[in-house]
Structure 1
Amino acid sequence: MELKESPIAEAGMLIRRPLADVFEAIVDPAITTKFWFTHSSGRLDEGKTVQWEWRMYGVSTKVEVSEIVPNEKIVMQWSDPPTTVVWTFTKMPGDITFLEVRNFGFAGSGDEQVKQAVESTGGFSLVLAGAKAWLEQGLTLGLIGDRHPKGISAE
């Protein structure tokens, strides 16, 4: 299948917390581990490479941060082969933040790229829902760990 345009995974969520709090939740692994990955080798900083782990799945990935504009944007590359992830933080009235994430640059055939984009959209939707629950209500929903329980086939 030949694609006319490369697929892009996109997800967004309104989070009723100040911009700086939402931004910090993505760059500070002490917060991010409440709703996404289980372990990190460090904080996200421009030009830095960190390792993220999802120990319940025995999976990890290298994350290279190419750009950070505090409280506005994070650009990173991750996975193998690498794709680009862009986080955009938009201040809304009343100390509310709209957080959007876009993931693109998928490799493989057209069908493989589309499959990766669909999976990424679903994954980032769960990440944003988990971030919303944690930041607004202090709830750890376990969405990422519960997405692929043992004994359930991926196919």
Structure 2
Amino acid sequence: MSTVIETQMLIRKSVNIVFNAFVDPLITTQFWFNESSGYLEAGKTVQWYWPKYKASAEVNVLKIKENELIQIEWGEPKTKVDFIFEKITSMQTYVKIRNYDNPLQDQALIDFVIDSTGGFTTVLDAAKIYLEHDIVAKLVEDKFPPFTEETMAKA
């Protein structure tokens, strides 16, 4: 049986606004990664960057179903991530993020589950704050050290 990591959040914006926030890097950089090589499109590979952490991720976009689903493969080891968008009302969207197809076992799997669950929860929290209140909360940038004047000035 495969381990599925899931986190979710209601965002009080229309489904097209919430969906677009995850495919358009000009918006996504306000709450998740700092830089991107491009817009998410099915069949495309993009790079996401977090300069403070000296980290990047190659993201393979497997499937896009407008206002419903973004499916990517990323990470080390490579895992699949589904971003599922459910219209609740004209101004409410329920977003689920599912991370699965992880080959890890034992303590490595436990560590991955903790990191992935915490990371995607932080992303959804930051997205909610940004989309509902137009506040760039920098939750991802502030999650881990180093907390130096130099790194915080760049974040």
- TM-score of the superposition, structure 2-length normalised? 0.91
For the aligned residue pairs, the C-alpha RMSD in angstroms reads 1.1
Instruction: Name the structure 2 match of 1:41.
Output: 37
- Structure 2 CA distance, aligned partners of 1:82 and 1:93? 35
Instruction: Name the structure 2 match of 1:125.
Output: 121
- Structure 2 CA distance, aligned partners of 1:93 and 1:44? 25
- Structure 2 CA distance, aligned partners of 1:109 and 1:21? 37
1:47-126 equivalence runs, <5 A: 47-126=43-122
Structure 1: which amino acid aligns with 2:54?
A: G
- Between the aligned residues of both structures, percent identity stands at 41
Q: 1:37 offset after TM fit, Å?
A: 0.2
- Structure 1 CA distance, aligned partners of 2:55 and 2:40? 19
Instruction: Name the structure 2 match of 1:13.
Output: 9
CA deviation map 1:1-20 (0-9, x unaligned): xxxx3322111000000000
CA deviation map 1:18-46 (0-9, x unaligned): 00000000000000000000000000000
Q: 1:95 offset after TM fit, Å?
A: 1.7
- Structure 2 CA distance, aligned partners of 1:64 and 1:120? 18
Instruction: Name the structure 2 match of 1:149.
Output: 145
Residue 114 of structure 1: SS of its match in structure 2? helix
Q: 1:114 offset after TM fit, Å?
A: 2.2
Structure 2: which amino acid aligns with 1:83?
A: T
Unaligned stretches of 5+ residues in structure 1:
none
Structure 1: which amino acid aligns with 2:20?
A: E
Unaligned stretches of 5+ residues in structure 2:
148-155
- Structure 1 CA distance, aligned partners of 2:50 and 2:11? 24
- Structure 2 CA distance, aligned partners of 1:70 and 1:44? 11
Q: Residues 104 and 117 of structure 1 are in contact (CA less than 8 Å); yes or no, is this contact kept in structure 2?
A: no
1:138 aligns with 2:134: yes
Instruction: Name the structure 2 match of 1:28.
Output: 24
Residue 59 of structure 2: SS of its match in structure 1? strand
